[in-house]
């Protein structure tokens, strides 16, 4: 998916670098949850609410998708912690289960 990046990432980076209070850059989906350092902050890309792109770090790999669960990102901000991000999966899953055994 890297081939579909920003047309001019340096222009965006120059704007972001002027504002050190920028906590994160939160982006729409590319069918895979990805985080990367960018311009002195974190760029967080959301997964898809449908299928995901197959995780293959080979730049020559063919584009393929997998039926991983749909998901979305939930971001919370507080002055004490900054941005805290969660990935939430869509669907019915067993649980929750206690980490402790019942007495």
Positive or negative, the CA dihedral 93, 51, 62, 27 is negative
pTM of the model: 0.76
Q: Identify whether 11 is part of a domain.
A: yes
pLDDT digits (tens, 9 = 90+) for 57-95: 888 889 899 999 999 999 999 999 999 999 999 999 999
Q: Identify whether 37 is part of a domain.
A: yes
Q: Identify whether 102 is part of a domain.
A: no
Find the CATH number of the domain harbouring 51.
3.30.750.180
Q: Identify whether 49 is part of a domain.
A: yes
Residue 76: domain span: 2-89
Q: Identify whether 97 is part of a domain.
A: no
Percent of the chain at pLDDT exceeding 90: 59
Local confidence band at 102 (pLDDT 50, 70, 90 cut-offs): low
Distance, CA of 68 to CA of 52 (rounded, Å):
6
In the chain, the number of structural domains is 1
Positive or negative, the CA dihedral 58, 43, 33, 31 is negative
Percent of the chain at pLDDT exceeding 70: 94
Local confidence band at 17 (pLDDT 50, 70, 90 cut-offs): very high
Q: Identify whether 101 is part of a domain.
A: no
């Amino acid at each position: 998916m890297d081939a579909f990046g920003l047309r001019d990432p340096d222009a965006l980076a120059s704007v972001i670098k002027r504002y050190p209070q920028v906590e994160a850059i939160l982006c729409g989906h590319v069918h895979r949850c990805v985080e990367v350092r960018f311009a002195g902050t974190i760029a967080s890309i959301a997964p898809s609410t449908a299928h995901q792109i197959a995780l293959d770090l080979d730049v020559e790999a063919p584009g393929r998708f997998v039926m991983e669960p749909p998901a979305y990102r939930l971001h919370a901000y507080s002055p004490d912690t900054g941005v805290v991000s969660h990935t939430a999966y869509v669907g019915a899953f067993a649980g929750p289960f206690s980490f402790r055994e019942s007495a």
